[in-house]
Chains A and B, each alone.
Chain A
Amino acid sequence: QSVLTQPPSVSGAPGQRVTISCTGSSSNIGANYDVHWYQQLPGTAPKLLIYGNNNRPSGVPDRYSGSKSGTSASLAITGLQAEDEADYYCQSYDSSLSGVVFGGGTKLTVL
């Protein structure tokens, strides 16, 4: 059971918009720790997608955006493309555990 809760799967048709939620608690997201998002394509290492809640590293398309409110965060992907099919993970810091925590991951399927 992950400290951060994500839906196991989401899906959408090409061109559509999808969102992936990440729910935490008062000891992580709710304690004002930043949320970060990673994309993992099959058989590859994770790649940083969003850092500091809503910042994109250089090279990440603006189709990806992040937001945070209260004890939750969300990743939005607009203009869905076949290449977006991957696993997505949220990550934060937990003061009770004194360590990094990941969400359980969400598998995005492009229909």
Chain B
Amino acid sequence: EVQLLDSGGGLVQPGESLRLSCAASGFTFSNYAMCWVRQAPGKGLEWVSAISYSGASTYYADSVKGRFTISRDNSKNTLYLQMNSLRAEDTAVYYCAKDGTYRSSWPNYFDYWAQGTLVTVSS
């Protein structure tokens, strides 16, 4: 059974940093691209970042480019999102999600999602 367990959310002040993690199991992690999607309170889904199955290629939404870094450790079946210079508008539930295409180098569609971790940026 595919399972994604994201963690690392919390309350931080503007300008601070936070690292999210997503532990994967139930599939061969190293064969699938992964991504982060966020949802601000009461708002819709916003794609944040994606990483290819090998980790060689990364993609970012303009809203986080230069501040967030996505990475993965295929030996630990874990996805990460390093978030720096956080702003109030980054407040959201962050979901990690698995791409549905085998060995895709770019994000396609997302067939499994974690339960989400809440990031609150406030002074």
Chain A hits for B100, CB < 8 A: 48, 51
Q: At the interface, yes or no: A91 with Cβ under 8 Å from chain B?
A: yes
* One of A12-20, A72-80, A95-103 at the interface: A95-103
- Give min CB distance, B12 to chain A, whole Å: 23
Secondary structure dominating the interface of B: strand
Whether, in the assembled complex, B20 has its beta carbon less than 8 Å from a beta carbon of chain A, the answer is no
For chains A and B in complex, what number of residue pairs have CB atoms within 8 angstroms?
64
Question: Separation in Å of the A20 CB from the closest CB of chain B?
Answer: 13
Instruction: Fill in one digit per residue for A85-111: 1 if any B CB lies within 8 Å of its CB, else 0.
Output: 001010101000111111111000000
Stretch in B23-31, B75-83, B84-92, B102-110 touching the partner: B102-110
Interface members, chain A 26-63 (any B CB < 8 Å): 34, 36, 38, 40, 45-48, 51-52, 57
The 9 A-B residue pairs whose C-beta atoms are closest, nearest first, are A100-B47, A36-B109, A105-B44, A45-B113, A102-B45, A51-B109, A48-B111, A104-B44, A100-B107
Q: Enumerate chain B interface residues (CB-CB to A < 8 A).
A: 35, 37, 44-47, 50, 59-62, 95, 97, 100, 106-116
